[in-house]
């Protein structure tokens, strides 16, 4: 099966917006064993779009069209494709009801031009949009399958995950099953992970193996093609064993969970609690863990002790320690973790203190981070990191490193070296 991706929007060809959809969809197709041969961007012009669709129809079996599904006059994708295929568009009751519910929730009347979004291909399939008004669509004609997706990334990616990937897997697996496994890695960059697994990636056949960078961390995806689930598991087994032999210490999830979800699950299973004392991260680690539903069972609370004054008043860090070693130090991180665990009477406490930038302080470099981990009845450990990036990135990495260190302690009884 040959695939190509067409992104639609004048903002793309004028350079105002970067085309990230082609990158994302090409990666996803790759994991499904579908090669993408062409990327095309075209403006909001019906004649130019018609020409691009005609060319795609002549050379590809699967065509993605991203964007141009909205309510305005220059949203032309669905209408131009319908004209080219000579396919009828009909009003879909479910799409119309979805549209009405969105505007009822907004306490607004539906603008008349929005109704066009509820029209779908008579001989096609609808993909529900959980984050916007325009549904995704698919239609097949002359043995070419077209998949139409909304332009906003916050709509396109969830729609692909929830609806389009399963659709493609059904399309591709007429006599076989396609099984995906996503593993979450942290503490190792995408390039380093790929380097350690380079021979496996270069020599892959079935299963396939691919890496994907996230905001923090990396996803390693294994894809197997088999006659049934049992055979897929047999195909996965030797590759999984070798992957974990090499880089298993960096893996925090085998079920595509976030780091905070993993930490919550471990704490909850063991009926353990945690508290935080955060300086440079400003409460970000606490925030991440409390985004997980039910986190009140495991998070007792935390301190944002940003200044030395608050470190002394609220976390009982001795002034002598701050004067001698500074707020960004092994000693301060240890006091923060120890005293916070005692004050909140928790099983664990994490402290984070460091220099996020944009300028160095205390004669210490930007990106220097100290993380303390106190545990009831155990020796408190303190870890030094040297992170890189913008202020926001250093803060995000530091918060995630704290959670990663905690999950290692709970899950494996291991600690970062």
Rounded Cα distance between 81 and 121, Å, is 10
3-state helix, strand, coil in the chain (%, to 5): 45, 25, 30
The pLDDT assigned to 289 comes to 98
Nearest to 333 by CA among 398, 404, 389, 286: 398
Same domain, yes or no, for 131 and 12?
yes
Of the three residues 198, 225, 253, the one that is the final residue of a domain is 253
Paired tokens of 347: 């099983």
Task: Give per-10-residue mean pLDDT for the chain (417 aa).
Answer: 94 94 92 88 97 97 96 94 96 92 88 92 94 95 96 95 92 74 95 96 88 91 87 94 96 92 96 98 98 97 97 96 97 98 98 96 95 96 97 97 96 59
Same domain, yes or no, for 289 and 220?
no
Q: Is residue 288 part of a domain?
A: yes
Whether 168 contacts 34, CB under 8 Å: yes
Rounded Cα distance between 252 and 238, Å, is 20
Nearest to 302 by CA among 349, 334, 338, 263: 349
Residues 6+ apart with CB under 8 A from 30: 36, 208, 210
Rounded Cα distance between 261 and 255, Å, is 11
Residues 6+ apart with CB under 8 A from 347: 272, 273, 274, 341, 375, 376
Q: Is residue 98 part of a domain?
A: yes
| CATH number of the domain enclosing 41 | 3.40.980.10
Angle between helices 330-344 and 308-315 (to 10 degrees): 40
Distance of CA 295 to the CA centre of its chain: 20
Same domain, yes or no, for 156 and 80?
yes
Same domain, yes or no, for 38 and 154?
yes
Same domain, yes or no, for 161 and 200?
no
The pLDDT assigned to 417 comes to 47
Q: Is residue 417 part of a domain?
A: no
What does the DSSP 8-state code read for residue 364? B
Rounded Cα distance between 68 and 333, Å, is 52
Whether 387 contacts 399, CB under 8 Å: no
Same domain, yes or no, for 135 and 197?
no
Same domain, yes or no, for 316 and 239?
no
| CATH number of the domain enclosing 359 | 3.90.950.20
Same domain, yes or no, for 167 and 90?
yes
Q: Is residue 188 part of a domain?
A: yes
End-to-end Cα spacing for the chain: 46
How many structural domains comprise the chain? 3
Same domain, yes or no, for 219 and 247?
yes
Same domain, yes or no, for 118 and 267?
no
pTM for this entry? 0.73
| CATH number of the domain enclosing 198 | 3.30.70.2860
Of the three residues 206, 226, 253, the one that is the final residue of a domain is 253
* CA distance to 56, 110, 117, 130, per residue, from 101 (Å): 36, 10, 14, 12
Same domain, yes or no, for 269 and 359?
yes
Same domain, yes or no, for 111 and 40?
yes
Q: Is residue 78 part of a domain?
A: yes
Of the three residues 196, 230, 253, the one that is the final residue of a domain is 253
* Domain assignment of residue 244, given as a range: 177-253
Q: Which residue has the tokens 């949009």?
A: 129
């Amino acid at each position: 099966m040959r695939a190509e991706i067409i992104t639609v929007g004048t903002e793309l060809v004028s350079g105002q917006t970067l085309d990230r959809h082609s990158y994302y969809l090409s990666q996803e197709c790759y994991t499904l064993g579908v090669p993408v041969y062409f990327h095309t961007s075209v403006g909001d012009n019906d004649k130019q779009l018609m020409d691009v669709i005609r060319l795609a129809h002549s050379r590809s079996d699967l065509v993605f069209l991203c964007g141009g599904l909205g309510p305005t006059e220059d949203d032309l994708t669905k209408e131009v494709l319908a004209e080219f295929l000579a396919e009828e568009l009909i009003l879909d009751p479910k799409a119309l009801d979805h549209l009405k519910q969105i505007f009822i929730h907004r306490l607004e009347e539906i603008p008349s031009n929005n109704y066009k979004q509820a029209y779908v291909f008579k001989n096609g399939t609808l993909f529900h949009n959980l984050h916007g008004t325009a549904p995704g669509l698919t239609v097949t004609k002359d043995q070419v399958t077209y998949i139409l997706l909304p332009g906003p990334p916050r709509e396109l990616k969830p729609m692909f995950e929830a609806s389009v990937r399963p659709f493609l897997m059904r399309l591709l697996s007429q006599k076989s099953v396609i099984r995906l496994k996503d593993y979450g890695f942290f503490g190792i960059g995408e390039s380093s992970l790929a380097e350690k697994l380079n021979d496996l990636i270069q020599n892959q056949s079935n299963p396939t193996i691919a890496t994907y960078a996230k905001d923090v961390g990396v996803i390693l995806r294994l894809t197997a093609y088999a006659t049934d689930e049992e055979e897929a598991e047999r195909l996965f087994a030797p590759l999984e064993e070798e992957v974990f032999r090499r880089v298993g210490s960096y893996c925090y999830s085998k079920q595509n969970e976030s780091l905070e979800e993993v930490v919550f699950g471990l704490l909850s299973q063991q009926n353990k609690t945690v508290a935080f004392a955060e300086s440079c991260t400003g409460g970000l680690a606490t925030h991440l863990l409390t985004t997980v539903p039910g986190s009140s069972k495991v998070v007792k609370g935390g301190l944002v002790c940003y200044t030395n004054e608050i470190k002394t008043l609220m976390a009982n860090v001795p002034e002598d320690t701050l004067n001698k070693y500074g707020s960004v130090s092994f000693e301060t991180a240890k006091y923060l973790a120890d005293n916070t665990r005692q004050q909140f009477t928790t099983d664990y406490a994490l402290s984070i203190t460091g220099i996020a930038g944009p300028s160095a302080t205390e004669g210490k470099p930007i990106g220097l981070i100290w993380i303390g981990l106190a545990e009831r009845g155990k020796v408190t450990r303190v870890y030094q990191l040297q992170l890189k990036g913008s202020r926001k990135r250093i803060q995000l990495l530091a918060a995630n490193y704290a959670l990663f260190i905690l999950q290692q302690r709970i899950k494996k009884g291991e600690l970062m070296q």
